[in-house]
Structure 1
């Protein structure tokens, strides 16, 4: 296995808006195989969620982690969708979120099978979190044109920091 994280940098991101389908889960449930994230991805593609989102700013999918109730151990909201320029028009079954301006550390995964590289990156981030201060505002994963081939993908994960 090659190095999980190829790059790490701090990036100041401006506030933005997001529309997508949301569920609540915990890291414990996800790691025990009782989670909802994989099912959320399946319905995202089956239901054509991305195609139904109005006012998209770019062609990338965002996976956001927000509404943290108690850091990485408690429930949080996981949503799949897109960054948008306006949230006045939200399709049925979807929610709009404001992603606050924040400082982020950006973790770039190795290139590989998407399910593998994202899990590896989060394991790395959880270790990194033991010695760094996460803000637990809104974190997100960017799935852009580097993810066209699910067996040969690369993802950026933005972690909000204090």
Structure 2
């Protein structure tokens, strides 16, 4: 889809430390989403630009085969007010390769796109990668989710 430079941004949300080893992320990340939705986390995030959801993968121990942190939240103006039980993180300006997952969210279309990314020869930095669930992701049966992968 082409490389684009994305300016520094901040996210506040909830997080989990997980790994793709032994399918662990396949349990931890859906559990994080369930908690996020069940507890109405979007409504509790201060200083957010809008209700677009960001699912950020960061703090990689090495690459996608080793432990990393997943943060599910919203893009915010600043990190001056991080509610208890949440995390806030600033992501530096970087170059990203954009991918678009299209289809039924409940049929694993985002995971399918990640499988393609993992099997590609992208020169990744493993600093922060993220998914954006905006307007086009509102209908889960026919959704579009943008995936941005940090590249060298």
Fold conserved between structures, TM > 0.5 = yes
Partner of 2:133: 143
Match among 2, 7, 19 for residue 9 of structure 1: 2
Secondary structure, in 3 states, of the residue corresponding to 2:69?
A: strand
Q: 1:11 to 1:115 in 2, by over 3 A?
A: farther
Structure 2 length-normalised TM: 0.94
Match among 26, 31, 41 for residue 33 of structure 2: 41
Deviation at 1:47, TM superposition (A): 0.7
- Tell me, yes or no, if the aligned pair for 2:4 and 2:96 is still in contact at 8 Å: yes
Match among 53, 56, 74 for residue 45 of structure 2: 53
Partner of 2:83: 91
Matched, 1:18 2:11: yes
Match among 60, 74, 78 for residue 68 of structure 1: 60
Structure 1 length-normalised TM: 0.89
Higher fraction of strand = 2
Report the number of matched residues.
Answer: 152
Deviation at 1:114, TM superposition (A): 4.6
User: How big is the alpha-carbon RMSD for the aligned residues of Structure 1 and Structure 2?
Assistant: 1.4
Structure 2: 5+ residue runs without aligned partners? none
- Tell me, yes or no, if the aligned pair for 2:104 and 2:143 is still in contact at 8 Å: yes
Deviation at 1:40, TM superposition (A): 0.4
Deviation at 1:59, TM superposition (A): 2.4
Deviations 1:78-116 (A, max 9, x none): 010001001110011000101111000000112323551
